Amino acid sequence: MNNPNFIDYVSIYSKSGDGGEGSKHFRREKFVPKGGPDGGDGGRGGHIILKGNKQLWTLLHLKYKKHFVAENGKPGGGSKKNGANGKDIIIEVPLGTIARKKDNEEKVLEIIKNNEEKILLEGGIGGLGNHNFKSSTNQSPKYSQPGKNGMEQWITLELKVLADVGIVGFPNSGKSTLLSVVSKAKPKIGDYPFTTIKPNLGVVPYKEDKSFILADIPGIIEGASKGKGLGLRFLRHIERNSILLFLIPINSTNITKEFNLLLKELKNYNKELLDKERVLAISKSDLVEKSELEIKLKKINIDIPKIFISSINYFGIEELKEQIWKKIKVNK
């Protein structure tokens, strides 16, 4: 997903189809000059439907096509012939897409499974033909129902990345390098803040045919939960991850303090994030002698699994993958 065209937020205008009008027709045949009412019902207006597609990783295809108007239902006919339903419009979206009303941000639906279909806007119901209104006191009703209007709404589509593990850390902590080492993903890597400005996904092989999905999320900065830096744009992606992999470089001034600051930003954004399983990887461990690691470990006052790693020489990577897999099994 290292793509400059990665789009995770778009607004679209949607209008479902109007229902078709019911018919006021009366039966007229050669030997039945004054037959009863036989007007058929109008057809339903087309729905606007969202459908999950696991092959999509971005909302880019909706960036320039923003208007979706479904077909109206056809009117009813004679001989109790119902009008055809309007054609539905199906909009394919990546898994993890949430639809909200643009005016008040009310959540409408979310798509998390492949080929899952949910109606975003229902088409208008077709009107009843006059044959429905025939009664003992009114044998020849000369009226029918109009179709019900469809719905129209500006909708915001918001993508939250679906991954087993989300990497949490400050800029330049080695997240992109780790992802490139453990998977075939090729994120942009550089020794400066915000190298990663879009989420990157990689499939990490474990043992035999086992694997898990790791997400490299743009780095947190202090105040991100209030929109500072990349702010809320990346924090929403972490909500989908079942496990949080905290990544802090070994040359950090105070690893415990940095970890607590990361926790604070997550809590300020959504306190439920603190309920997720956590693992701490201390990156860039090749910068110190192995004999010093035990001394470093004693200074870290954090009660979760802690693994020293180096993406440069692959030190600790297998141990990290094993610890992550244990956490994944607990969550399944």
Q: According to the model, what pLDDT value does residue 235 have?
A: 66
Instruction: Mark whether 171 and 106 lie in a shared domain.
Output: no
Q: According to the model, what pLDDT value does residue 76 have?
A: 96
Q: How far apart are the first and last CA of the chain?
A: 25
The one-letter amino acid at 288: V
CB-based contact 173:311 (threshold 8 Å): no
Instruction: Mark whether 242 and 290 lie in a shared domain.
Output: yes
Domain boundary (115, 135, 159) is at 159
Instruction: Mark whether 25 and 144 lie in a shared domain.
Output: yes
Which two structure tokens, joined as six digits, stand for 106?
């009310």
Instruction: Mark whether 228 and 249 lie in a shared domain.
Output: yes
Instruction: Mark whether 11 and 127 lie in a shared domain.
Output: yes
Domain boundary (126, 143, 159) is at 159
Instruction: Mark whether 149 and 185 lie in a shared domain.
Output: no
Instruction: Mark whether 154 and 6 lie in a shared domain.
Output: yes
Order of strands across the sheet that contains 243-249: 200-205, 211-216, 165-168, 243-249, 277-283, 306-308
Instruction: Mark whether 224 and 97 lie in a shared domain.
Output: no
The pLDDT of residue 60 is above 90: no
Number of domain units in the chain: 2
CB-based contact 227:269 (threshold 8 Å): no
Instruction: Mark whether 155 and 267 lie in a shared domain.
Output: no
Instruction: Mark whether 1 and 36 lie in a shared domain.
Output: yes
Lowest mean pLDDT among 50-59, 200-209, 243-252: 200-209
Q: Residue 277 is part of which domain span?
A: 165-331
Instruction: Mark whether 192 and 135 lie in a shared domain.
Output: no
Q: According to the model, what pLDDT value does residue 67 have?
A: 96
Mean pLDDT of 173-197: 63
Output the domain CATH number for residue 220.
3.40.50.300
The one-letter amino acid at 43: G
CB-based contact 225:263 (threshold 8 Å): no
Domain boundary (124, 159, 194) is at 159
Helix ranges (DSSP H) in the chain: 175-182, 232-238, 255-269, 293-298, 317-331
The one-letter amino acid at 121: L
At 69, is the pLDDT very low, low, confident or very high (cuts 50, 70, 90)? very high
What are the beta bridge partners of residue 205?
211
Give tens-digit pLDDT for 227-274: 443 434 556 667 777 899 999 999 998 999 999 998 888 888 788 888
Which two structure tokens, joined as six digits, stand for 292?
């010093």
Lowest mean pLDDT among 70-84, 108-122, 194-208: 194-208
At 329, is the pLDDT very low, low, confident or very high (cuts 50, 70, 90)? confident
At 194, is the pLDDT very low, low, confident or very high (cuts 50, 70, 90)? very low
Instruction: Mark whether 281 and 310 lie in a shared domain.
Output: yes
Q: According to the model, what pLDDT value does residue 271 have?
A: 83
Output the domain CATH number for residue 81.
2.70.210.12
Give tens-digit pLDDT for 115-164: 999 999 999 999 999 999 999 889 889 999 999 999 999 999 988 777 78
